[in-house]
Amino acid sequence: MKKQSKFRSGIFLVLFAFAIAFGGNIVFAQGTTALPFLLISPDARANGMGETGSAIADKSTAIFWNPGGLAFQTGTDVSFTYSDWLPDLPQDFPFNPGYTYSTFKMNIPEIEGTLSASLFYFGYGINQESDADDSRDYALTLGYARKLGSDWGLGLNLRYVNSRLVNTDASGISKSYTATSFNFDLGVLWRPVKFLDGKFSAGMSVSNMGGEIYYVDEAQSDPIPTNLRFGFAYEIFKENKHSLLAAVDFSRLLVQRPDSTGERDSWYKAIFSSWGNDKAFNEFIFSTGIEYQYGRPDDVMFSLRSGFFYEDPNNGDRKYLTFGAGWRYKYVGLDLSYLWTSLFEGHENSFLDNTWRVQLSVGWGAEKQNTLGLPRGI
């Protein structure tokens, strides 16, 4: 039987911050998933579209949403995102979390594929109990993707995660606890050239596949958030300088809730056994979004985005609208997104409300596409 952690003070508040943000998707009745920051929608563009990305996956940020999408990309690009996460936390809350997310991708024809990398750094800010910038998480991801024929792309990510949580006891003495994880992702993207004029794509990924981790001892181990995501994207129109893109995503944790004895299946069994309850399909998260663009990729482009995110009331009850805007001049782009919960009854005081993300990206060397539809790569 797995005992539950008895962390107090700082560590408890760190987990509490994620609990109020992710609700039932993170906190089970008898335990938690570790490393919840791995589920945060990191980049501004996808967040502005309601957190959709599994079937779009056309930039280096595809390493998060669906590494299979990297197979359809050419050239090189890098991006950097910053967010002051949960800005509406009470002023007396001991932490003020925020994160940075950096991505890189390069298509290399000699290896018939695309290499990618990302670094996700999540800081909890200054701990008012210890007056130190101590608790933090980071994840380093390396990926490779290649096309399988003209319509399919397959991607694989390998990831190292390091998490350090600091606990301060009643006497003011601080002690740090560190956990590490090696895990991996698989993603596939279908972008058929002869179906709907190449304007449609479908993608699926399973991320964060790996064993349980622990901060103190193995008896207090918790699973990492293995996550299934799939979705669809369709380019509604693209005429002259105008285009409109729509997307929808579905996602669900593939983690088994512990039984009455506190036991649960290992991660590879839980991918299947986590479906064995009558609420399995209520645990899906639904998100949808649209993006309007005006301009030309080789000149100036402007983008407007909006989306909707929905989670079942019995499984976290997150619900919000997202908005975004983007500007790009040849090689350089800037994207912003904003998350709004207070429109919905019962969500007026959500700590997720008013969350901003800002993203800077630079891309070069991509081959010009001579066909209509979504990016096809080489």
DSSP designation for 367: P
Give the whole-angstrom CA distance, residue 303 versus residue 245.
Answer: 11
Our CA dihedral for 58, 64, 70, 76, rounded to 10 degrees, sits at: 80
Q: Helices marked H in 200-340 — which ranges?
A: 267-273
Task: Give residue 173's pLDDT.
Answer: 64
* Reported pTM: 0.88
Give the whole-angstrom CA distance, residue 125 versus residue 255.
Answer: 29
| DSSP bridge pairs for 302 | 294, 327
| Ranges in the chain, pLDDT < 50 | 1-10, 24, 27-31, 377-378
pLDDT digits (tens, 9 = 90+) for 97-130: 889 999 999 999 999 999 999 999 998 776 555 5
Task: Give residue 371's pLDDT.
Answer: 53
- Per DSSP (E only), the strands in the chain are 27-28, 31-32, 76-83, 98-108, 113-123, 136-148, 152-168, 174-190, 200-209, 227-239, 242-253, 285-295, 300-311, 319-329, 332-340, 355-364
Task: Give residue 133's pLDDT.
Answer: 55
Question: What is the percent of the chain with per-residue pLDDT over 70, rounded to a whole number?
Answer: 80
Task: Give residue 279's pLDDT.
Answer: 79
Which domains occur in the chain, in start order? 9-364 (2.40.160.40)
SS3 36: helix
CB neighbour burial string for 274-291, b if at least 16 within 10 angstroms, e if fewer: beeeeeeeebbbebbbbb
Give the whole-angstrom CA distance, residue 195 versus residue 183.
Answer: 35
Q: Are 45 and 321 in contact (CB under 8 A)?
A: no
Our CA dihedral for 84, 330, 115, 304, rounded to 10 degrees, sits at: 50
SS3 234: strand
Pairing of strands 227-239, 152-168: unpaired
